[in-house]
């Protein structure tokens, strides 16, 4: 598998339900970030979690990171139709001397229906 793969590839839920997306990666990381992309638009930064953190919250978002399994999950609680978008995880490698390019995953397409 490639660095940064999300599953599921597509997720369809009803408004008010929770949505969980998972991301796996292969190399050691400095941090992991989640982004949202509405169809044909730019990428919006949602949340960043560092390699020494296990869980982080921001509003209706909850991110977990398990560095032993090289995986992360994004939970959106009480979803709304406006949450419909593609969600990507992106990793920044742990590199001596810096280096902060983002390596993106394949993304999860979330559809929230009324």
Partner 1 sequence: EPEVTQTPSHQVTQMGQEVILRCVPISNHLYFYWYRQILGQKVEFLVSFYNNEISEKSEIFDDQFSVERPDGSNFTLKIRSTKLEDSAMYFCARSRDTDTQYFGPGTRLTVL
Residues 6+ apart with CB under 8 A from 49: 31, 32, 33, 55, 56, 63, 64, 65, 72
> Which two three-digit tokens encode residue 90?
């992106």
Which of 105, 108, 110, 112 lies at the binding interface for partner 1 (CB under 8 A)? 105
Which of 15, 20, 22, 48 lies at the binding interface for partner 1 (CB under 8 A)? 48
With contacts defined by CB under 8 A, name the span among 13-21, 58-66, 73-81, 96-104 that binds partner 1: 96-104
> End-to-end distance of the chain based on CA atoms, in angstroms?
34
CB of 90 to partner 1, least distance (A): 8
61-80: which residues touch partner 1 (CB under 8 A)? none
Q: Rounded distance, CA 89 to CA 72, Å?
A: 8
CB of 93 to partner 1, least distance (A): 10
Q: Are 107 and 38 in contact (CB under 8 A)?
A: no
Which of 1, 39, 52, 100 lies at the binding interface for partner 1 (CB under 8 A)? 100
Which of 85, 93, 77 lies closest to 109, judged by CA? Answer: 85
Residue 59 binds to partner 1 (criterion: CB under 8 A): no
| Site of interaction with partner 1 (CB under 8 A) | 4, 30-31, 33, 35, 40-45, 48, 88, 90, 92, 98-107
């Amino acid at each position: 598998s490639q660095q940064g793969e999300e599953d599921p590839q597509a997720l369809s839920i009803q408004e008010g339900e929770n949505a969980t997306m998972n991301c796996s990666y292969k190399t050691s990381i400095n941090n992991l970030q989640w982004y949202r992309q509405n169809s044909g638009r730019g990428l919006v930064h949602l949340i960043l979690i560092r390699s020494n953190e296990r869980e982080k919250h921001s509003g209706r978002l909850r991110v977990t990171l398990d560095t032993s399994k090289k995986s992360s999950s994004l939970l959106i609680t009480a979803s709304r139709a406006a949450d419909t978008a593609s969600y990507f995880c992106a990793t920044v490698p742990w590199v001596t001397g810096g280096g902060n390019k983002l390596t993106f995953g394949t993304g999860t397409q979330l559809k929230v229906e009324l």
